[in-house]
Amino acid sequence: MIIRPPRHWFLRLFAWHGSVLPSIMFRLSLNLLMSLAAILSLPWYETLGVKLTLAPFSLLGVSIAIFLGFRNSVAYSRYTEARQLWGGLLIACRTLQSQVMAVCPGEAQRVTTLLLAFCYSLKHQLRHSDPRPDIERLLGDDAEDILSRRAPTNMVQLRMSQWLAERRRSGELSDIVYTHMDTTLLQLSQVVGGCERIVSMPIPFAYGLLLHRTVYLFCSLLPFALVVDLHYMTLLVSGFISYSFLSLDTLAEELEMPFGYANNHLPMDAMCTNIEINLREMNNQTHLPDTPVPDRHYRLS
Amino acid sequence: MIIRPPRHWFLRLFAWHGSVLPSIMFRLSLNLLMSLAAILSLPWYETLGVKLTLAPFSLLGVSIAIFLGFRNSVAYSRYTEARQLWGGLLIACRTLQSQVMAVCPGEAQRVTTLLLAFCYSLKHQLRHSDPRPDIERLLGDDAEDILSRRAPTNMVQLRMSQWLAERRRSGELSDIVYTHMDTTLLQLSQVVGGCERIVSMPIPFAYGLLLHRTVYLFCSLLPFALVVDLHYMTLLVSGFISYSFLSLDTLAEELEMPFGYANNHLPMDAMCTNIEINLREMNNQTHLPDTPVPDRHYRLS
Amino acid sequence: MIIRPPRHWFLRLFAWHGSVLPSIMFRLSLNLLMSLAAILSLPWYETLGVKLTLAPFSLLGVSIAIFLGFRNSVAYSRYTEARQLWGGLLIACRTLQSQVMAVCPGEAQRVTTLLLAFCYSLKHQLRHSDPRPDIERLLGDDAEDILSRRAPTNMVQLRMSQWLAERRRSGELSDIVYTHMDTTLLQLSQVVGGCERIVSMPIPFAYGLLLHRTVYLFCSLLPFALVVDLHYMTLLVSGFISYSFLSLDTLAEELEMPFGYANNHLPMDAMCTNIEINLREMNNQTHLPDTPVPDRHYRLS
Amino acid sequence: MIIRPPRHWFLRLFAWHGSVLPSIMFRLSLNLLMSLAAILSLPWYETLGVKLTLAPFSLLGVSIAIFLGFRNSVAYSRYTEARQLWGGLLIACRTLQSQVMAVCPGEAQRVTTLLLAFCYSLKHQLRHSDPRPDIERLLGDDAEDILSRRAPTNMVQLRMSQWLAERRRSGELSDIVYTHMDTTLLQLSQVVGGCERIVSMPIPFAYGLLLHRTVYLFCSLLPFALVVDLHYMTLLVSGFISYSFLSLDTLAEELEMPFGYANNHLPMDAMCTNIEINLREMNNQTHLPDTPVPDRHYRLS
Amino acid sequence: MIIRPPRHWFLRLFAWHGSVLPSIMFRLSLNLLMSLAAILSLPWYETLGVKLTLAPFSLLGVSIAIFLGFRNSVAYSRYTEARQLWGGLLIACRTLQSQVMAVCPGEAQRVTTLLLAFCYSLKHQLRHSDPRPDIERLLGDDAEDILSRRAPTNMVQLRMSQWLAERRRSGELSDIVYTHMDTTLLQLSQVVGGCERIVSMPIPFAYGLLLHRTVYLFCSLLPFALVVDLHYMTLLVSGFISYSFLSLDTLAEELEMPFGYANNHLPMDAMCTNIEINLREMNNQTHLPDTPVPDRHYRLS
């Protein structure tokens, strides 16, 4: 489940990992048109009274870079937290599985099924996709009741909690082991709560808008400030600066909501499969799903 | 409960999410007047001895950008912490609810009521609004005693603690299960303590003042430094720079106290409704409140 | 216990929250004198061989802004941690109080007294003020033994630990409930340990010195670099830049040690009163202290 | 196991810790060639219409420095987290070992073996190297079953969990001590989960690409912007700036994936040996492995 | 145990806290020589073809400031973590001591001795100094066995673990209280593990080297870029900039490894004495060590 992009510096220069370039291509072309317009209209500058010098753009550019840096670190920390939550999900699943195998081995299979239903349901909830096929595959007849609820993932969690309570009521588990395993269930609860929080709380919308507009306006005006000094070179320099600023703006937007299908989003399909392999292997099952492999663009879905 | 602003880059340029622009509109207009004044007074500059060049403003502007970056990250981290506390509230409520359903199912309804009273009371405490309608709806006769206290939320918490103690005293819960559930109660206690801390500790007032004044003065003087080089273009460039700096200053002020009714504040109404849906669904109740939906300005209250 | 400074942008421009301006007023005046000196000596510059241009000051100014940003975030994080520790103190006090009321209600009054003695003792320890009046008011005869120790707060903590041990020895508390409540005591221990750490570990002294000196020297030399271009305007621009840099330096110094009596320090008097109100109200006492209210300068002590 | 590089400032100037310089040497030479090309083609500039001035490069350079700073802090935090996880592994191993020695001393040797198998297996998993020699040395006949699995480390963990379950089933451990030790096992689980997360989630690939390209293009174009002012000095200044930017880019790339064999990667061989020494010494064994010593380039593998 | 440097701004300007200035004095003098060389060779510049202008140095200087800011925050966070670990050590010692006094008071003295041996041993381990005198003073005959081990601190920890296990085996402690106290022991284990991690993992060496070299080269070349504009003033301005950059570089180097004897390192002697005072006072001992007092340079060792 490991992504290994080319490590040689030269190959990396031309690596194609289509996430950002395609989505800014159109804006970049517009920018080049602006540069052309600036170059062509240069002779009439005096007459038009256009007097844009680089100095105020330098001040503005550095400020935007600072704010972009802030926004990227904020978006990245959301992405990281999402990844950590899913990492914690894997850990909690393995832990509960091995606890069940230790104290009531006969139930291991049942718990594996519930845990997998939990993971797949969470994935579909976060991606707003249809959980039916996965839930029916795993839970069979029981699926219908889960699927009819508003919060299916939470319902699967409740099933696990009830399964645990039955073990306690039947005397199979002492209160101590019961509370110990309930603490592991709490970790699952924290994962789903954390993911819901990330999904339902975007970065304050005004930040995104502010930077999006500022970056765009900055890149559009820049050629007119550069053209007096650089003339034809405006195309190169303005394109270069626009490329970095627009890319970072777009990348931050993408990382802000890490649960989608974009290139830099979390590979939740692969993660679910990975959890399935782990849990089934712990049960000594032999028909395991294939280990997910990135495609030739270094992508996992 | 999910806010989905327009994702296309072009729509985002003109999206209207009225939080910041209206509150800086007046200052922005003042700034444009300053620019006009600068342009009109340009011919008399020599006589007046006004000699403002861009270089010191460049130094000052970058410094202000750095300090604004610091202030925004501080304000944003308060906003994030507030959101995490409310996310933790949802998790703790679900956890306590499922624990009660596991060990004393007959009490599930009663605990739901107390948990909801806790959430609504906390919301009203943080917004300085009247908790009476919600508390009376939920607690009935018991409400009066709660409402007469100085710290109603803390009193609801105490009720839950006493309810738990009774279950232990009556032998329904062993000491182990009792302490386990008391730990979940502690999480509720940490949420209310954390929210109170955010409300009662603003960012040191001097930071806000300092930046507020510096940004305002900077934006007011900037036209006079730009006008010599840019002439008419001063309007555009000065307006642009002022827009970014004033917006960021205002946004930081808004995020600093995230429990109000402003656009970028926490949608605590929606969050409370969400918790109510979750808990009632766990109780298999069928008359659930409607899922909160953002209005056409992408706002939840 | 809530501070609400004026929210309107115009009122904030002239709000008087006397923390920083008074303490830099003298240095600011010196700086204006330097500006005057620079303006007056301008005609002799050539002769004196003084050749200060703005470019190296620009480089230096931005560097200082970056380092000031670092120092402020470090000082602010100490302030935040101090506030979180006191927030945690409130939470731990409420938790222990409600645990005692749940498992041995007859002792609630006694524990309230010990908890309050703990809080007041910690406050006095951190401020190096005399704990005698508060400790005697709360503990009566027992006070003398506490006050004669080198670490009175730690001794109050030990009393609570011994009180708990007696409950266990007398069979009132099972081992499970005992260890559960001892864990709450540990939180008190962590609060006092954390506060002691903040007090006894200043930010490495060399940081403060380095920035203090650099900022001062920078502000003193700046007029001589500005005067050639700006002439009379030097007064305005140099005063403006000095105001921001000196303020931030002074503010960082103040926040670094947040347990004093300065404007931006923690309002520990109000916090102690708040804890007292909370605990006494939980005991259903009716004679509660007044809720602390900020004075007209938005200050709580 | 301590690396002590030369502390004297002069020796540090010329210290050779070959990690970064060799890998950028080629690009640095290309850069010098670009500088030469710029110097030689200077007379034809006018004719060619090349008009690159330093001002836009200054804006771009500072922006790149800000983004490089962001990327380095992100890469460094991954490196730090990896190190903390391995530090936590040492702590968890010692803790479990001393718990076993306290409650079932006869099993100490067996647990040491399993813990070491766990550590070595994790090391090989992270480095994609062959675990067979180490696992066979430690586990003997049992090794084959472990090695045939897809997730050997997880399997060793399961063995420990089963060993613990057997102790409980045989009545050797009470439920309380069992859950206490299972909590220590959970820490091992968190270490392996955390390391897997770091390995399987690179920093979003687009960040690396973006900066890698931007830095490279910047360094390549810089000589043409410098040459008009600096002439021959272009070689020195451009080389200097390229050295810092390329180094930081390369270093970030290296730290991003800290589990390899590069100079700045984690010395996992030494760490495993260190854990082995610690655990065996706790067992009073006398034939301990040698303490790992850095080679003359201050490297541990 | 509190350091109170002079708070008045004027006294702080000339405070002597000799940590950084002495260690950069030599380099600073070299830098002044470079400035002199630049001033003297100015007339021959044209002939020599030296053409260094300030613009590229401005770009480089701001970049270095950003990277220095990054390095300082990294070094400072290591220093802070080290201090937090030692703060945690104090808390854990007090906690264990009061737990022992609560549940087996007769053993309090013995545990104090072991805890102090643990602290002193850790201090000596971190400073690579000889633990013999302290260990022999505290443990008497038992010292030899500890001192002959490779990891003495870990051995003292094991002794405490074994002491606790004996209490459990003898029936003095129930399993619940045993596991509760073992959790406190775990905190000691985390302190020693954390400190070892800081000592054995320097900041990637290449960072230090890179910045060290870049800062030095920058400061050496700067006079040649300043001299054309500033002439004699080069001495002042170059000295000023070099002072800030070299100081920050040196300070970061010092904080990176906070366990030595330098001025800004942790005062571990004072901390150990402080723990000894606390623990002995809890035992009602009257012959306590003196409270450590900083010397007149505000230093604690």
Q: Is residue E279 situated within a structural domain?
A: yes
- By the 8 A CB rule, do E164 and E91 touch? no
Asked if C178 is an interface residue toward chain B (Cβ–Cβ < 8 A), one would say no
For residue B269, give its domain range: 85-202+265-286
Using pLDDT thresholds of 50, 70 and 90, give the confidence band for residue B205.
confident
3-state SS assignment for residue A51: coil
The CA–CA distances, whole Å, from C276 to B71, B199, C120, C147, D83 equal: 33, 19, 10, 21, 44
Mean pLDDT on C129-144: 93
Asked if B163 is an interface residue toward chain C (Cβ–Cβ < 8 A), one would say no
Using pLDDT thresholds of 50, 70 and 90, give the confidence band for residue D10.
confident
User: Is C182's CB within 8 Å of E99's CB?
Assistant: yes
Distance, CA of D135 to CA of D156 (rounded, Å)? 10
Name the percent of chain E lying above pLDDT 90.
64
Q: Examine the pLDDT at C136 and tell me if it is beyond 70.
A: yes
Asked if C15 is an interface residue toward chain B (Cβ–Cβ < 8 A), one would say yes
Q: Examine the pLDDT at B286 and tell me if it is beyond 90.
A: no
Supply the pLDDT for residue B21. 77
Give the minimum alpha-carbon distance from B87 to chain A in angstroms, rounded to a whole number. Answer: 6
- By the 8 A CB rule, do D245 and A51 touch? no
Environment class of residue B9 by beta-carbon count within 10 Å: exposed (0-12), middle (13-18) or buried (19+)?
Answer: middle
Asked if C66 is an interface residue toward chain B (Cβ–Cβ < 8 A), one would say yes
Supply the pLDDT for residue A18. 53
The string of pLDDT tens digits covering residues C102-128 is 999 999 999 999 999 999 999 999 999
Q: Examine the pLDDT at C271 and tell me if it is beyond 90.
A: yes
Name the percent of chain D lying above pLDDT 90.
64
Supply the pLDDT for residue E1. 57
**Chain D residues touching E256 at Cβ < 8 A:** none
Supply the pLDDT for residue E133. 95
Q: Is residue D254 situated within a structural domain?
A: yes
- By the 8 A CB rule, do B79 and B255 touch? yes
Mean pLDDT on D28-40: 92
**Chain C residues touching E15 at Cβ < 8 A:** 205, 209
Low-confidence ranges of chain A (pLDDT < 70): 1-6, 16-19, 49-50
Supply the pLDDT for residue C4. 65
Q: Mean pLDDT score of chain E, rounded to an integer? A: 89
Neighbouring subunits of A (3+ Cβ pairs under 8 A): B, D
- Give the residue among E288, E287, E283 at the shortest CA–CA distance from E110: E283
Q: Examine the pLDDT at B295 and tell me if it is beyond 80.
A: no
Asked if E221 is an interface residue toward chain C (Cβ–Cβ < 8 A), one would say no
Cβ-proximal residues to E224 (8 Å cutoff; 6+ apart), any chain? E34, E38, E50, E52
Give the minimum alpha-carbon distance from C131 to chain B in angstroms, rounded to a whole number. Answer: 25
3-state SS assignment for residue E142: helix
Distance, CA of A105 to CA of A167 (rounded, Å)? 12
CA E102 to chain centre: 35
Q: Is residue E33 situated within a structural domain?
A: no
Supply the pLDDT for residue D100. 96
**Chain C residues touching B47 at Cβ < 8 A:** none
Q: Is residue D114 situated within a structural domain?
A: yes
User: Is C99's CB within 8 Å of B58's CB?
Assistant: no
Mean pLDDT on D73-94: 95
User: Is D213's CB within 8 Å of A79's CB?
Assistant: no
Using pLDDT thresholds of 50, 70 and 90, give the confidence band for residue B228.
confident
**Chain B residues touching A183 at Cβ < 8 A:** 180
DSSP readout, chain C? -------SHHHHHH---TTSHHHHHHHHHHHHHHHHHHHHHGGGHHHHT----HHHHHHHHHHHHHHHHHHHHHHHHHHHHHHHHHHHHHHHHHHHHHHHHHH-GGGHHHHHHHHHHHHHHHHHHHHT---HHHHHHHHGGGHHHHHTSS-HHHHHHHHHHHHHHHHHHTTSS-HHHHHHHHHHHHHHHHHHHHHHHHHH--S-HHHHHHHHHHHHHHHHHHHHHHHHHHGGGHHHHHHHHHHHHHHHHHHHHHHHSTTSSSTTS--HHHHHHHHHHHHHHHTT-S-PPPPP---TTS---
Distance, CA of B75 to CA of B198 (rounded, Å)? 11
Supply the pLDDT for residue E94. 96
Residue C105's Cβ-side half-sphere holds a number of Cα atoms within 13 Å equal to: 10
Cβ-proximal residues to C267 (8 Å cutoff; 6+ apart), any chain? C1, C292, C299, C300, C301
Q: Examine the pLDDT at D18 and tell me if it is beyond 70.
A: no
Angle at B60 between CA B54 and CA B64, to 5 degrees: 135
The CA–CA distances, whole Å, from B293 to B1, B271, C7 equal: 6, 11, 30
- By the 8 A CB rule, do C62 and C54 touch? no
The string of pLDDT tens digits covering residues A175-210 is 999 999 999 999 999 999 999 999 988 888 778 888
User: Is C55's CB within 8 Å of E237's CB?
Assistant: no
Supply the pLDDT for residue A24. 86
Residue D233 has its nearest CB partner, among E51, E60, E176, at E51
Residue A62 has its nearest CB partner, among B65, B98, B288, at B65
Distance, CA of B93 to CA of B187 (rounded, Å)? 9
Supply the pLDDT for residue D3. 63
Environment class of residue A8 by beta-carbon count within 10 Å: exposed (0-12), middle (13-18) or buried (19+)?
Answer: exposed
Supply the pLDDT for residue A8. 77
Supply the pLDDT for residue A300. 78
ipTM of the complex: 0.91
Q: Is residue E115 situated within a structural domain?
A: yes
Q: What is the dihedral of CA C216, C219, C221, C224, to 10 degrees?
A: -160
Residue A164 has its nearest CB partner, among B5, B102, B230, at B102
Q: Mean pLDDT score of chain C, rounded to an integer? A: 89
Residue predicted with more confidence, A177 or E52:
A177
Distance, CA of A83 to CA of A76 (rounded, Å)? 10
Give the minimum alpha-carbon distance from E171 to chain C in angstroms, rounded to a whole number. Answer: 14
Q: Mean pLDDT score of chain B, rounded to an integer? A: 89
Q: Examine the pLDDT at D74 and tell me if it is beyond 70.
A: yes
Mean pLDDT on B87-106: 96
Using pLDDT thresholds of 50, 70 and 90, give the confidence band for residue E115.
very high
Distance, CA of B80 to CA of B72 (rounded, Å)? 12
**Chain C residues touching B23 at Cβ < 8 A:** 9
Supply the pLDDT for residue C261. 87
Give the minimum alpha-carbon distance from D10 to chain A in angstroms, rounded to a whole number. Answer: 32
Neighbouring subunits of D (3+ Cβ pairs under 8 A): A, E
- Give the residue among D60, D64, D56, D1 at the shortest CA–CA distance from D210: D64
The CA–CA distances, whole Å, from D99 to A94, D94, D116, D277, D281 equal: 23, 9, 16, 18, 15
How far the first Cα of chain A sits from its last, in Å, is 11
- By the 8 A CB rule, do E150 and D277 touch? yes
Query: What amino acid occupies position D188?
Result: L
Q: Which of A28, A244, A263 to mutate to test the interface with D (most CBs of D within 10 A)?
A: A244
Supply the pLDDT for residue B16. 62
Mean pLDDT on C256-277: 91
DSSP type of residue E130: -
| Rg of the Cα atoms in chain B | 26
CB pairs under 8 A between D and E: 178
Range ranked top by mean pLDDT from B49-53, D87-91, E263-267: D87-91
The string of pLDDT tens digits covering residues E63-111 is 999 999 999 999 999 999 999 999 999 999 999 999 999 999 999 999 9
Q: Is residue B301 situated within a structural domain?
A: no
Supply the pLDDT for residue C180. 97
Distance, CA of A185 to CA of A164 (rounded, Å)? 9
- By the 8 A CB rule, do D151 and A281 touch? yes
Q: Mean pLDDT score of chain D, rounded to an integer? A: 89
User: Is E247's CB within 8 Å of C210's CB?
Assistant: yes
Q: Is residue C277 situated within a structural domain?
A: yes
Q: Examine the pLDDT at C24 and tell me if it is beyond 80.
A: yes
- By the 8 A CB rule, do E207 and C28 touch? no
> H or E element: which one contains A74?
helix A54-103
| Rg of the Cα atoms in chain D | 26
Supply the pLDDT for residue D264. 83
Please count the structural domains in chain C.
1
Q: Is residue D125 situated within a structural domain?
A: yes
Using pLDDT thresholds of 50, 70 and 90, give the confidence band for residue E231.
confident
Mean pLDDT on D208-220: 90
